[in-house]
Amino acid sequence: MRSLLPNHSVTVIIPAGGSGERLGASIPKALVSLAGRTLIEHCVSNVAPIANQIIVAAPAGYEDQFRTLLGDDILVVTGGVARADSVRAALQHATSDFTLVHDAARSLASAELAGRVIDALASGEKAVIPVMAVIDTIKYVDHNNFVVATHDRSSLRAVQTPQGFETSTLKEAHATSQDATDDAGLVEALNIPVKIVDGEERAFKITLPEDLVRAQKFLIGETTTNIRVGIGTDAHAFSANPQRQMWLAGLLWSDEVGVDGHSDGDVAAHAICDALFSAAQLGDLGSNFGVSEPEWAGASGAKLLQETLNRIRAAGFEINNVSVQIVGNRPKIGPRRAEAIAALSAALDGAPVSLSATTTDGLGFTGEGKGISAIASVLLRATDRIS
Ligand code: CTP
Ligand code: MG
C-alpha cells in the first residue's frame, strides 16, 4: 500500500459484513467469486494503491477466512448487524487524516475514483462523495400507486462509494447520529457541506445475480490483455538399469523401469516448469535450477513445480491452467490419470491441470520404445497483488 499524496494519510474502511441476501449465494456476498477472485479481494486490491491503512469489516464468523484471503497488511474486524455498525466497528481503528468508506459490493471501483475523492479532501473539503447523473425521470408516488410529483432530474444524483471524510468529522458524525443510509447522510445531519465529484460506471454496486455478469464484462478487457501463454517440452531415454525408479507426473510407477538423467526424470513435471518459466519470461529450468543453484540438483519433479510456482508468483503471475501431454509407449497413463492430475495440481497449489497421453504409431524414439517425452502448455494471468 502507498499513498499518492505524501502529505495526507488515507484509511479505507470496507464494510463487507452483509450477507448478500439479494445476490442469493450460499456464502456472504464479499466471498463470492468473480473471474477467479473473491469480491473482497477485487475491492481491496483496487483501492490498495491509494491507501495507507485498510480495515475490512467481515461478517461475524468469517473473520479468519477474510484474514487468510487478504493477508497481514489488512486489519479485519467483526461487522455489525447494520452497515453503519460495521463502519463504526472499523472506524475506531482508523488512524489516518482522511477516511474513505467503500462498499465491498462496489468491488470494481478504481483507484482513480478514490484518487478524485482524496484530491477534493486534500483541497480542504470535509466530506466528498462520488455521484452519477440520474438517467431515468424520478417520480414521487403515493401508497395508492398514483404519481404525486415529478422531481427535476437535473438536480438529482445517484451516489456511489468510496465516500471520503476528514477522519475526525466522520468519527463525530458516527458518534452523534446512528440513522442514515450512507455515511454522507450522517455528516449532512451535522450541517457540514458534502462535496460531489464524478463517479464512474464500474463503481456500480453488485446486488443482484445479473450484476455479476455486468461485472464480468468490465473485467473481460483486462483479463484478455493480461494473460500469457507458455510452452515447454522434455524427453529422457529409458534406463538400461532395471533398478532405476520411474517418476512421472509426480507419481512413482513401481512396476516400470525409469529413465536416465541426474534428476528423477519426471518429464511431465519438467515440461510444465519450462512452460511456466517461459510464460512468465523467467528463462527455463536450466537457467533457474542449473549449475548456479546446485541445491536443486536431484530435486523431485514435485519440488521443482512448487519452487517454479513460487518464482512465477513473485514475478506477479497466477496460473489459469496447465495442460500436459505425455508421449511414449509406456506407462499406460489412463488408469492413473486422476491420481497424476491430483499430484501435479497439488504441487501447483491447486491450479487446474489436465493430462493427456499418446503413442506415436511406432515412429521416432518414443514409438521405438527408447524413451518418453512430454509437452506442456500453460496460461498465466498477471496479478496486481497487495504489496
Ligand atoms: N454491510 C456491512 N454490514 C452489514 C450490512 C452490509 O458491512 N451489516 C456492507 C455489505 O457487505 C456491502 C455494503 O455494506 O459491502 C453495502 O450493502 P449491500 O450491498 O446491501 O450488501 P448486503 O447487505 O450484503 O446485501 P443484501 O442487502 O442483498 O443482503
Ligand atoms: Mg444490504
Q: Is the residue at 4 inside a domain? A: no
Ligand 1 lined by 83 (C-beta under 6 Å): yes
Q: Are residues 253 and 127 in the same domain?
A: no
Ligand 1 lined by 385 (C-beta under 6 Å): no
Decide which of 195, 220, 245 is a domain's last residue.
220
Decide which of 193, 220, 247 is a domain's last residue.
220
Q: Residues 275, 278, 282, CA angle at the centre, nearest 5°?
A: 130
Q: Is the residue at 356 inside a domain? A: yes
pLDDT tens-digit profile, the chain (387 residues): 544 556 799 999 999 999 999 999 999 999 999 988 999 999 999 999 999 999 999 999 999 999 999 999 999 999 999 999 999 999 999 999 999 999 999 999 999 999 999 999 999 999 999 999 999 999 999 999 999 999 899 999 999 999 999 999 999 999 987 777 889 999 999 999 999 999 999 999 999 999 999 999 888 766 666 789 999 999 999 999 999 999 999 999 999 999 998 789 999 999 999 999 999 999 999 999 988 888 898 899 999 999 999 999 999 999 999 999 999 999 999 999 999 999 999 999 999 999 999 999 999 999 999 999 999 999 999 875 432
In ligand 1, which atom is closest to the CA atom of 23?
28
Identify whether the C-beta of residue 387 lies closer than 8 Å to the C-beta of residue 48.
Answer: yes
pLDDT at 262: 76
The CA 149 to ligand 1 mean position distance, Å, reads 31
The CA 209 to ligand 1 mean position distance, Å, reads 15
Q: Which ligand is nearest to the CA of 19?
A: 1
In ligand 1, which atom is closest to the CA atom of 29?
24
User: Measured on CA atoms in the order 246, 379, 41, 33, is the torsion positive or negative?
Assistant: negative
Listing DSSP states for 53-122 in one string gives EEEEEEPTT-HHHHHHHH-TTEEEEE--SSHHHHHHHHHTT--SSEEEE--TTSTT--HHHHHHHHHHHH
Q: Which ligand is nearest to the CA of 80?
A: 1
Q: Are residues 196 and 316 in the same domain?
A: no
Cα separations (Å) of 133 from 73, 158, 201?
36, 6, 11
- Distance CA(98)–CA(12), nearest Å, equals 9
pLDDT at 168: 97
Q: Is the residue at 1 inside a domain? A: no
DSSP 356: E
Best residue for ligand 1 mutational test, from 13, 14, 19 (most atoms within 8 Å of Cβ): 19
Decide which of 189, 205, 220 is a domain's last residue.
220
Cell of 112: 482513480
The CA 331 to ligand 2 mean position distance, Å, reads 56
Give the phi and the psi of residue 349 in degrees, each rounded to 5. 60, 35
Cell of 114: 478514490
pLDDT at 293: 87
The CA 18 to ligand 2 mean position distance, Å, reads 6
Q: Is the residue at 151 inside a domain? A: yes
Q: What is the 3-state secondary structure (H, E, C) of 7-25?
A: CCCEEEEEECCCCCCCCCC
Ligand 1 lined by 162 (C-beta under 6 Å): no
pLDDT at 224: 66
Three-state SS at 205: coil
Q: Are residues 199 and 231 in the same domain?
A: no
Cα separations (Å) of 310 from 97, 306, 313, 315?
37, 6, 5, 9
Ligand 1 lined by 20 (C-beta under 6 Å): yes
Ligand 1 lined by 104 (C-beta under 6 Å): yes
Alpha helices in 239-363 (DSSP H): 267-279, 285-289, 301-314, 337-347
Q: Are strands 147-150 and 227-237 parallel, antiparallel or unpaired?
A: unpaired
Q: Is the residue at 5 inside a domain? A: no
Q: Are residues 243 and 216 in the same domain?
A: no
Identify whether the C-beta of residue 16 lies closer than 8 Å to the C-beta of residue 30.
Answer: yes
Q: Are residues 125 and 105 in the same domain?
A: yes
Q: Which ligand is nearest to the CA of 88?
A: 1
Q: Are residues 159 and 15 in the same domain?
A: yes
Report which protein residue has its CA nearest ligand 1's atom 13. Answer: 103
Cα maximum dimension of the chain? 92
DSSP 51: -
What pTM did the predictor assign? Answer: 0.65
What range defines the domain where residue 64 resides? 10-220
Q: Is the residue at 212 inside a domain? A: yes
Which CATH number does the domain housing residue 369 bear?
3.30.1330.50
Q: What is the dihedral of CA 220, 221, 224, 225, to 10 degrees?
A: -160
Q: Are residues 175 and 45 in the same domain?
A: yes
Q: Which ligand is nearest to the CA of 57?
A: 1
Best residue for ligand 1 mutational test, from 26, 29, 39 (most atoms within 8 Å of Cβ): 29
The CA 177 to ligand 2 mean position distance, Å, reads 19
Report which protein residue has its CA nearest ligand 1's atom 6. Answer: 18
Cell of 331: 506407462
Q: Are residues 151 and 183 in the same domain?
A: yes
Q: Is the residue at 387 inside a domain? A: no
Which CATH number does the domain housing residue 95 bear?
3.90.550.10
In ligand 1, which atom is closest to the CA atom of 80?
8
Q: Which ligand is nearest to the CA of 104?
A: 1
Q: Are residues 243 and 351 in the same domain?
A: yes
Other Cβ atoms less than 10 A from the Cβ of 182: the count is: 18
Q: What's the structural domain count of the chain?
A: 2
Contacts of 129 (CB under 8 A, 6+ apart): 117, 159, 160, 161, 163, 164, 182, 184, 194, 195, 196, 197
The CA 44 to ligand 2 mean position distance, Å, reads 19
Q: Are residues 183 and 77 in the same domain?
A: yes
Identify whether the C-beta of residue 204 lies closer than 8 Å to the C-beta of residue 213.
Answer: no
Q: Are residues 377 and 241 in the same domain?
A: yes
In ligand 1, which atom is closest to the CA atom of 103?
15
Q: Is the residue at 2 inside a domain? A: no
Contacts of 229 (CB under 8 A, 6+ apart): 279, 377, 378, 379, 380
Q: Are residues 318 and 187 in the same domain?
A: no
Report which protein residue has its CA nearest ligand 1's atom 25. Answer: 20
